C-alpha cells in the first residue's frame, strides 16, 4: 500500500491515472499534456507500474499503458476506516454545537423574560 500512496502523491501520476481511466494511452500520449520527455514520462510510469496501478504492453516499438485499478481498492478500504472515524467525530461535534445553541437560546429567552418584569 505504501507504493500506491507514493504513486498517488504526485500530481502528474494522478493525472496520468485519470487519463488512463478513459482508455489505453501510449507513453507519448501520457507525456503530452505535461510537455515532458518520454524518459521523464517513463519514470512516472515505472512508479505507477511498481504500485500495480497500470500495466504496460509493448506493441512493436510502442508502449501502451492501461489502468489496473485493483490496488486502489486496498487504499480505498484503508481510507474508508478514517472516513468513518472522522464522520463519527464530526457528527459528535455537530451534536455538541446544536446542544450549545439550545442552551444559549434558553438563556436568551430567560434573560428577555426577566427584562419584561
pLDDT band for 117, please (50, 70, 90 cuts).
low
Query: 15-31, pLDDT tens digit by residue?
Result: 999 999 999 999 999 99
Q: 117 or 79: which carries more pLDDT confidence? A: 79
Residue 13 is part of which domain span?
2-68
Q: What integer pLDDT is reported at residue 17 of this predicted model?
A: 96
Q: Pick from 75, 15, 16: which is nearest to 45 by CA? A: 16
Same domain for 48 and 62, yes or no, is yes
Which residues, 6+ apart, have CB-to-CB distance to 68 below 8 Å? 52, 53, 54, 55
What CATH number should be reported for the domain holding residue 17? Answer: 1.10.10.10
- 54 and 17 co-located in one domain: yes
Whether residues 8 and 45 fall in one domain: yes
pLDDT for res 115? 62
Distances from the Cα of 31 to the Cαs of 5, 22, 41, 55, 56, in angstroms?
Answer: 21, 16, 5, 16, 14
52 lies in the same domain as 77 = no
Amino acid at each position: 500500500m505504501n507504493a500506491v500512496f507514493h504513486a498517488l502523491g504526485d500530481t502528474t501520476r494522478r493525472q496520468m491515472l485519470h487519463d488512463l481511466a478513459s482508455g489505453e494511452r501510449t507513453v507519448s500520449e501520457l507525456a503530452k499534456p505535461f510537455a515532458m520527455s518520454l524518459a521523464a514520462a517513463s519514470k512516472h510510469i515505472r512508479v505507477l507500474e511498481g504500485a500495480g496501478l497500470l500495466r504496460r504492453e509493448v506493441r512493436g516499438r510502442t508502449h501502451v499503458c492501461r489502468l489496473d485499478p485493483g490496488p486502489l481498492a486496498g487504499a480505498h478500504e484503508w481510507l474508508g476506516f478514517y472516513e468513518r472515524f472522522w464522520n463519527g467525530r464530526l457528527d459528535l461535534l455537530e451534536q455538541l454545537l446544536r446542544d450549545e445553541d439550545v442552551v444559549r437560546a434558553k438563556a436568551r429567552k430567560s434573560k428577555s423574560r426577566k427584562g419584561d418584569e
